[in-house]
Amino acid sequence: MTLNISRPLAARERLGRLEDPAAGDFPFYDGLPMALSGLQWLALMAGVVAGFLVLILPIPWPGGVWAPLIPALLFPAIPLATLYLVALDHWTVLFGRVGVREVRLMFGFALLNIVVTLCVGALVRTFADVTSNAAAAQLANADMAGRIAFFVKTLPQLLGEELVTVLPFLALTAALTKGFGMARRSAVIGAWLLSSLLFGLIHLPTYDWNWIQCIVIIGTARLVLTLPWLLTKNLWVSTGAHIVNDWLLFGVALLGAGLAGRA
């Protein structure tokens, strides 16, 4: 039987102000709008892994400068297709409306994340080496077509990064509540922390296997970028915040490279 996911949550179940009561509960983990079996959760996680592998494996895609757009599109498409197979029309519950409030939240959380990341990064640099993101250098050395292709590619890719976080978050919440008998609030906190750790770990190849950087800096950034999902239960909001965050950072890096080249 299909149920409504907008049931109200008691104050003792929510994470205080981090969750908007009007947003209702998270989907799937507690049987709303439908229950997923253990095999369905495993299939969904396999879809997440498959999408990620398509993104990172050295497959010779056709298309020249636009070739990276193909794996970037498949990255979110594969887990979303898997979600459709296991949840049918209910796959859309991850996405909500986007209005003025949602756009404000995107920019607000993006700016918050930049501040937090800079502070954490400065702290880590006092006791450990930090590896730069090679994508910034590639962007600086690319021609105009390459730069346009890069920013276009980030749109589906960052949606994929949100799915790589949110779908395991839901699976972990289901496992912690159903399998380990944890209360909702504790399970959500646990899933938030573990999914952020996972997000940091999948960035190890990007940052030359710098474990401290990926766990502390990238993991902390993910904790902040998951906040709009916790608040709104709307994947568009967390994806938008992630896009604004990365575009601002890459834009500043590109501007800095341009100014340095003129000096």
Mean pLDDT of 119-132: 94
Instruction: Give the residue-averaged pLDDT of 29-42.
Output: 95
pLDDT confidence of 263, banded at 50, 70, 90? low
Report the distance separating Cα 27 and Cα 9, nearest Å: 13
Higher pLDDT, 68 or 8: 68
Q: What is the pLDDT of residues 14-32, one digit of tens each?
A: 898 999 999 999 999 999 9
pLDDT above 70: residue 258: no
Q: CA-to-CA distance for 170 and 187, rounded, in angstroms?
A: 10
- The pLDDT, as a whole number, for residue 4 is 44
The pLDDT score that the predictor gives to residue 261 is 60
Predicted local distance difference test score (pLDDT) of residue 208: 93
Residue 202 carries which DSSP code? Answer: T
Around Cβ 233, how many Cβ atoms within 10 Å?
24
Rounded Cα distance, 199 and 28, in Å:
21
Mean pLDDT calculated for residue range 168-197: 97
Q: Within 13 Å of residue 61, how many CA atoms lie on the same side as its CB?
A: 17
Q: Which residue has 């109200």 as its token pair?
A: 8
Q: What is the mean pLDDT of the chain?
A: 93
| pLDDT one-digit tens code per residue, 77-115 | 999 999 999 999 999 999 999 999 999 999 999 999 999
Q: Using H for helix, E for strand and C for coil, what is the string for 202-227?
A: CCCCCCCCCHHHHHHHHHHHHHHHHH
* Radius of gyration of the CA atoms of the chain, in A: 19
Within 13 Å and on the Cβ side, how many CA atoms surround 164? 28
Burial call 30-60: b when 16+ CB within 10 Å, e when fewer: bebbbebeeebbeebeebbebbbebbeeeee
Structure tokens at 35: 């229950």
Q: Of 249, 218, 176, which Cα lies nearest the Cα of 26?
A: 176
156 has pLDDT over 60: yes
pLDDT value at 3 more than 50: no
Identify the band that residue 262 occupies on the pLDDT scale cut at 50, 70 and 90: low
